[in-house]
Amino acid sequence: MNSINGHQEMDFFSEENNKKPQALDLKTPWLSIKPEDLTMSTGLQLMTRNMGSDQSTVDDGSSPNEEEKEGRSHELEAMQAELGKMNEENQRLRVMLNQVTNNYTTLKSHLLALMQQRDQRSGHEVVQRQFMDSGPAVVTDADELSHSSTAGGSQEIRSTSPSNNVEVASIGEEKLSPNKNNEQAQEATMRKARVSVRARSEAPMITDGCQWRKYGQKMAKGNPCPRAYYRCTMATGCPVRKQVQRCADDRSILTTTYEGTHNHPLPPAAMAMASTTSAAASMLLSGSMSSTDGLMNANFLARTILPSSSSMATISASAPFPTVTLDLTHSNPLQLQRSPATVPASLPNIFGQPVHNQSKFSGLQITQDQLHHPPSLDVSAATAAITADPNFTAALAAAISSIIGGSHPTTKATSS
DNA sequence: CGCTTTTGACCAGCGC
DNA sequence: GCGCTGGTCAAAAGCG
């Protein structure tokens, strides 16, 4: 079953599918576009005008043949000229897109730098924060040193033991550069954070677009249904794991708990769930997040996933790991039982995942379907996953929805 | 033959 | 220290 899904989804990596839709060139430059730059409307207006003139020649059936031929040749020249103009505009837009991409990269690095500064100011607080609900898991320097000797042996750096995750972050603080340390700390803590998704499904596992391999099954205490353990097999060494278990009270409810961050490109079908879980994990792990912020963000995330549903998100304070639970059981169950190819239709193409060789903008890829159905909801969803910082989210959401949403300047210009 | 699933064993953390 | 529990490993079996 999984292998079938996986094979289908691997097709998304084909060169053909990796080509960005032309529409992306027009829609994604949202950071630094001035209204006067949006001259795409010129071409459309010309097209409209042409259609009008075309119509007039058809209507004017009384005109002599010579005139008609002459008129058509003029028309042809005009259209060729317009085509040339549009090509130029296309080139300009491509340049603008590159600029926007650069802007985005710069902005992102700024944000990361700021977050790193903040994390450095708060020292161990962030790491300790991840474990404040898990009892006596506060890491002391003595602990780190005693463990570091064992970690240096044949053990893997990416350990499956929670304590070792802390260890990696802490050792890095002493021995590695601050940037690398922060990355590792973040990776280690991201591995700890969990996102639980509750959904009604008769299938043994919800199709989230990823390729999973089952590596274990256990009877969990207090639940007659076994808990299955899966590991992501889309790339060797991908640390992402998930647990799948049916609810003891209502066996139609499937609880899927995700842990970790993918270290490889994801097919669009997998982007939705992976990004959602990653964004939720980011919320959990963002150092500035107060408990109320977290709850607010969690519910925002839930609305992001299924905007029309009454889905709820909660953050567990009692679980051994910080966990966000997205309860989708009140939404249409069919939304999570679709075939892999249609999963993105129910879940927004949002991003937030450190996807290698793939811009985070890939989450904003606009499909042919989306061209016919403006992706305003998807875009607002995307902003939710960019970062857990509510201020950043609000600013970007406003910017994106003002440009890509119904009030797109180009649209206005065309319609006027 | 290669990949996935199954399943018992093993390990670490935690509470008593 | 012991037992319980959750999580992982790895050999064997199953499958296409």
Q: How far is CA A160 from CA A215, A235, A414, in A?
A: 13, 17, 56
Interatomic distance A161 CA / B13 C1' (Å):
10
Lowest pLDDT segment from A93-107, A195-209, A398-412: A398-412
The answer for residues whose C-beta is within 8 angstroms of residue A75's C-beta and 6 or more apart is A50, A53, A54, A57
In angstroms, the CA A43 to CA A237 distance is 49
CB under 7 Å from any atom of strand C: which residues?
A 160, 215-216, 218-222, 227, 229, 241, 243, 320
Q: A344 near A271, Cβ under 8 Å?
A: yes
More confident residue, A218 or A90: A218
Residue A230: its pLDDT value, please?
A: 93
The gap between A210 CA and C16 C1' (Å) is: 21
SS3 A87: helix
A52 is near strand B: CB distance < 7 Å: no
Q: How far is the CA of A215 from the C1' of C10 (A)?
A: 10
Q: How far is the CA of A21 from the C1' of C15 (A)?
A: 39
Q: Which two tokens stand for residue A262?
A: 């993918």
A211 CA to B2 C1', in Å? 17
pLDDT for the residue numbered A368: 33
Phi, psi dihedrals of residue A255, rounded to the nearest 5°: -105, 120
- Asked if the Cβ of residue A319 lies within 7 A of any atom of strand B, the reply is no
Q: Is the CB of A295 under 7 A from strand B?
A: no
Ordered alpha helix ranges (H), A330-404: 343-346, 368-372, 376-386, 390-404
User: Tokens 């590991």 correspond to what residue?
Assistant: A231
* Nearest residue (CA) to C1' of C5: A221
Amino acid identity of A406? Answer: G
CB-contacted nucleotides of strand C (7 Å): 4-10
Look at residues A383, A355, A390 and name the one whose alpha carbon lies nearest to residue A270.
A355
CB of A217 under 7 A from strand B?
A: yes
The nt closest to A214 (CA vs C1′) is B5
Nucleotide nearest to A245 (CA to C1'): C6
Q: How many helices (H) and strands (E) does chain A have?
A: 16, 7
- Whether pTM > 0.85 for this model: the answer is no
Give A13 CA → B9 C1' in Å: 39
Q: What are phi and psi of A404, to 5 degrees?
A: -90, -20
Contact assessment for residue A409 and residue A35, using Cβ atoms and an 8 Å cutoff: yes
Q: Indicate if the alpha-carbon torsion angle A63, A69, A73, A79 is positive or negative.
A: positive
How far from A150 is each of A30, A349, A353, A402, CA to CA, in Å?
50, 42, 32, 54
Full strand arrangement of the beta sheet holding A194-200: A212-219, A226-232, A241-246, A253-259, A194-200, A323-327, A312-316
Buried b (16+ CB within 10 A) or exposed e, A330-353: ebebebbbbebbebbbbbbbbbbb
What are A84-118's pLDDT values in tens digits? Answer: 888 888 888 877 776 766 666 667 666 766 766 66
Tens digits of residue pLDDT in A326-352: 887 765 433 333 333 333 333 333 333
A159 touches strand B (CB under 7 A): no
Q: What is the mean pLDDT of chain A?
A: 54
What is the spatial distance between Cα A345 and Cα A103, in angstroms, rounded to a whole number?
Answer: 29
Find where tokens 């940037």 sit: A179
pLDDT score, position A306 = 46
User: Which two three-digit tokens encode residue A154?
Assistant: 């044949």
The answer to whether A204 CB sits below 7 Å from nucleic acid chain B is no
Contact A204, A336 (CB under 8 A): no
pLDDT, tens digit, 9 for 90 and up, residues A251-279:
888 889 988 888 888 887 787 777 777 77
Q: Where are the alpha helices (DSSP H) in A306-375?
A: 343-346, 368-372
Q: Strand B: list positions under 7 Å from protein Cβ.
A: 3-9, 12-15
pLDDT tens column, A45-55: 334 344 434 43
Q: Is the CB of A136 under 7 A from strand B?
A: yes
User: In the numeric block, which tokens belong to residue A263?
Assistant: 């270290």
Å between A341 CA and C8 C1'?
A: 32
